[in-house]
Amino acid sequence: MTGNGAPAGDAISPGGQPAGRPPAPPSIHVRAVLTWLAIFPLVAITSMATEPLVGTWHPIARACVVTLVVVPLAVYLVVPNLVKLWAHPPPLNAPASAPLPVARLYDLTMRHAEFIAVTEDAATGFAMLLGSADLETPVPTCPGWSLAQLAEHLGGVHRWARAQLLAGGAQVDEQAADAPLSDQQALAAWFREGATALVETLRELPEDAPCWALYPPARASTWAKRQALETTLHLWDATEALGIAVPIPSRIAAAGVAEVANDMYPRQVALGRMPSLDAVVVFRLKDAAGVEDATARPVIRLRAVGELGEASAGAPTPADATLEVSAQDALLLLWKRRDLATVDARLAGSRDTLERVLSHPLVP
């Protein structure tokens, strides 16, 4: 359904496959525990089961047989199911077929501490990549950059954001120390140092501590949100470049879509980088599992800047285009990491209008 109750329109689905909800990955620490929970019993069972056949073999040969069995089972079957169980545990005392409450599965509101934790986890994952991946790997979603240059950018942003937090309200232009681009371990350490300092500062300051920020409100909580989104998106850039793209959790992706609509896009207009929109585009986020009625799913609207602060009295302006899409794909569309041909979505309304809106520099 569209925002005004009209029938849903054309599906946009690569390969004609139905769109699925991307799983929200746990933190790196939880993933380590889940991986151990998968590997230990598989190794123990496989070792005992194969003992009569390979017990007299060389230890390396026995290890080869065990890992040939364990690794595919862990990677393709056990770990994915443990991750799903962790993300969406069944409700207590409820039938197995009962849908989970929507509020448990989908909440656009994230707290200050959650944003800080997201920044910490995403930065930890990024630093791990830097310690092992080829730093010369091109990053197609950041044209012209290698993985090393992406690390230099993100590490510099972390240091710059921390400088704003500590300046007491004045805007500062702190120049980050040169990143050691040619030394892999030194670059990973440099990146980790900046991210750790940022996270510690965010945790030490009250969330309403005054500081200059890219957009209102001018307080520490704005930087917690911005850096969580910045770090998460660039972690996705890095893993996408390496062919192991990590899904963006639905709640952080939805927060990112809302940031574009309510903060980044108005800032771009205020800075004269683009005109205010003359059309209304609605993103209906389909990640709310358990919501059968599409019209009840979370909605984020892009519209003229002057209408953003209007009260909800009366009916909203009808949408020129409504896109039913996952939060991750909506975020990647708005940050120009994806285009309409590469996302699973359903469009109602004008495709031309949607493409025109997406062509604007909605983000820096």
Helices assigned H by DSSP within 207-350: 220-241, 250-259, 265-270, 327-334
Element (H, E) at 103: helix 102-105
Smallest CA-to-CA distance from 72 within 83, 80, 60, 61 is with 80
Q: Which residues of 287-324 are buried (b: 16+ CB within 10 A; e: fewer)?
A: bbeebeebeebbbbbbbeeeebeeeeeeeeeebbbbbb
pLDDT at 5 over 70: no
259-275 confidence digits (pLDDT tens): 999 999 999 999 999 99
Q: Which of 13-22, 244-253, 326-335 has the highest mean pLDDT?
A: 326-335
For residue 318, give Cα distances in angstroms to 5, 28, 321: 10, 42, 9
Question: Which pLDDT score, from 0 to 100, does residue 28 have?
Answer: 66
203 vs 197: CA distance, rounded Å: 10
Report the amino acid identity of residue 205: L
pLDDT band at 91 (very low <50, low <70, confident <90, very high): very low
Examine the pLDDT at 236 and tell me if it is beyond 70: yes
